[in-house]
Amino acid sequence: MTTPLKKVLSAIDNINKADMNITLADGVEHPKELIYGQRMTQCLAKYWFDASELLQIAVRAQHIKRWHLKRAEFEQGKAGYYQWRIALGKFHGELTASIMLECGYTAEQAEQTATIIRKDLVRQGKTKINDDSQTLEDVACLVFLEHYFDDFSAQYIAANNEEKIIRIVKLTWKKMSERGHEIALTLPLPEHLAALVNKALAD
């Protein structure tokens, strides 16, 4: 029997299969957001094996149909970037909630999941409000470091702009919990990336 959780995860994957953007993994092409969502799920299962169903859904849906809202449709600069990110969070949350309702979850469960995805309540000052949103943030940062950091940093290494990479690592580190930090330090990063992380954390 297919459970509501499996139905939702399958529906998310079916939507993300339509992504025209491609990611190479082990020499095989995959729709970018499809494999991203699956990598998020793998990371959560590895380090947070007792995660709730709602968190499992939020993690898989972190980038659901992300291509729908393009960065170019918003203003340039930091303000436009944050407007884009807020709009994405709202879009991902609403789309995921609608899928959950169709698959038998309650309106309350759907809204709780949308709140996790929007990360509205990750922190209030130094006080954590929503542990699930923080875990989602940790998983996103870990997946970035393990699967995307190498390609992302290559452009800045080629431009001899190591400072930019170090600044990004510092910003990523600030988003993470102590648990996230502990896991990040165990990731098998290539030597040159591990050196950059060490530089960022040494400052």
pLDDT, tens digit, for every residue of 122-142?
Answer: 544 445 557 899 999 999 999
Indicate the DSSP class of residue 72.
G
The yes-or-no verdict on residue 24 having pLDDT over 80 is: yes
Q: What pLDDT, on a 0 to 100 scale, did the predictor assign at position 121?
A: 61
Q: How far is CA 199 from CA 175, 184, 202, in A?
A: 18, 15, 5
Q: What pLDDT, on a 0 to 100 scale, did the predictor assign at position 139?
A: 97
The yes-or-no verdict on residue 185 having pLDDT over 50 is: yes
Measured CA to CA, the distance from residue 164 to residue 171 in angstroms comes to: 11
pTM (2 decimals)?
A: 0.91
Average pLDDT over the chain, rounded to whole?
Answer: 91
Measured CA to CA, the distance from residue 99 to residue 26 in angstroms comes to: 31
The answer to which of 26-35, 154-163, 170-179 has the lowest mean pLDDT is 154-163
Task: Find all residues with CB under 8 Å of 25, minimum gap 6, and list them.
Answer: 35
Interhelix angle 4-16/77-102, nearest 10 degrees: 140
Stated as kind and residue range, the H or E segment containing 23 is strand 22-25
